[in-house]
Amino acid sequence: MKRTPSPHNLQANQGKQISSFRYEDGNKNKAKHKSLPVLRHIKVAVKKVAGLFTILFGQRKAASKAAALIETKRNDSRIRGISSSTDRSSGSDTRSKSSSKFKFSQSTSSASGLIETTNFSYEEILKATEKFSPANQIGEGRFGTVYKGRLADGSLVAVKRARKAASDKLLLETEFKNEILTLSTIEHLNLVRLYGYLEHGDERIIVVEYVANGTLREHLDGTNGNELETGERLDIAIDVAHAITYLHMYKDPPIIHRDIKSLNILITEKLRAKVADFGFARSSADPNATHISTQVKGTAGYLDPEYLKTYQLTVKSDVYSFGVLLVELMTGRRPIEPKKPTNERITTRWAIQMLKRGDAIFVMDPRLRRNPASTMVLEKVLLLAQECLAPLRNSRPSMKKCAEVLWGIRKDFQEKSLLSSSSDVHFSANYPVRDAKRTRRTSFGIQDDDCQRFIISA
């Protein structure tokens, strides 16, 4: 018999169910309330971790941006020639003698702006020059004697050894320090590179790049065996103009060379030019400022007359010397020729007077081939020289302007040479091959294009 639950029992059971439901809900609420603080802690912890990651990744991102910026600046400085790559060993004070040789690598200037150099030992210099053998002597000048040296790794260098005369000791010491200081801050295709130096007792030695083909003066005198053609002389003039422009415009402060002359222009095997000898160089805080000098320094025939009168030195003094060099290149004569007739002894005065009279052809170096192209070069170069030789410095052009004018002259020379070579104009047998071809190659070659971009865009 089926039992029917009584109302009382039904209510009791419902009460139990309700109470059980309430009890279960209560447990759930309690669990829920207990879980809330845990969730909050977890959320806070997650936020903290996220914040930490944001900071870390933000710093890393910022660091990477900074590194990229620094690298961009470094690359930019190399492009502009401020710290162009060269072949040089890093060297160190703690290296052994056997490790003192050059390790040719792509190195750049240090953060301080100074070029890294090698501290040579006296034993290394003696070995490189075979104890300063007369057979290795390649030059002699105001500072002392220059020797050709070969390092342990076979690298060729030029070793400048100061004279030891007691009367010149202070002067030579000043020139020694001045040349090292200047060379350690410059780096350019057309400037001789500094490799290192040495102070050993009373010895003062500077080790620089070896340039194999002698000086410009030797070539103009014909003692080197190579006769420079018109196009080659233009190349040399442009190289020198590039070098001085770099010193005047792209060094801070600007550097005044003070001794631009044919004996200080070294010629490479490819007949390109490198400016050397910075013993007289001087920094200028302002390229337009004048500096009073207690002692005139330079070489007779190349000295700025305004500097001689006022003792005031500016970058335009280098421009005057460059004008003398241009006349020297076109005439082949030295600035002062005491054995010539009176009206020809000062070469620049004689050449400019002949130019004004329309007789420039008579001052052309006899070694140069005479033809319409070379005559055009002679006249235009002498006109530029006339501007550089202006008595007042403010009337002289800048070195950058000189380089641009010479660049245009060489372009015209190339075009005129090519036209003349196909006409009935008489040339010597090998003239079109040497001048026209060489000018065409150097006018559009990598070396000169780089120099032109450097001067105009740096």
CB-CB neighbours of 83 under 10 Å: 18
Measured distance CA(404)–CA(407) in Å, rounded: 5
- Cα distances from 141 to residues 255, 277, 449, in angstroms, run 22, 10, 34
Phi/psi at 261 (nearest 5 deg)?
Answer: -160, 165
**What are 205's strand-pairing partners?**
161, 198
259, 304, 318, 365: which is the annotated catalytic residue?
259
Do the beta carbons of residue 83 and residue 112 sit within 8 Å?
A: no
| C-beta separation of 333 from 348 below 8 A | no
* Active-site residue, 412 included: no
Tokens 């009176």 belong to which residue?
342
Distance CA 124, CA 119 (A): 10
Phi then psi dihedrals of residue 8, to 5 deg: -65, -45
Q: Which residues pair with 198 in a beta bridge?
A: 205
Helix axes of 437-444 and 446-457: crossing angle, nearest 10 degrees: 50
Residues in Cβ contact with 237 at an 8 Å cutoff, skipping those fewer than 6 apart? 325, 326, 329, 381, 406
Backbone angles phi, psi at 209, to 5 degrees: -60, 135
Q: How far apart are CA 31 and CA 53, in angstroms?
A: 33
The catalytic residue positions are: 259
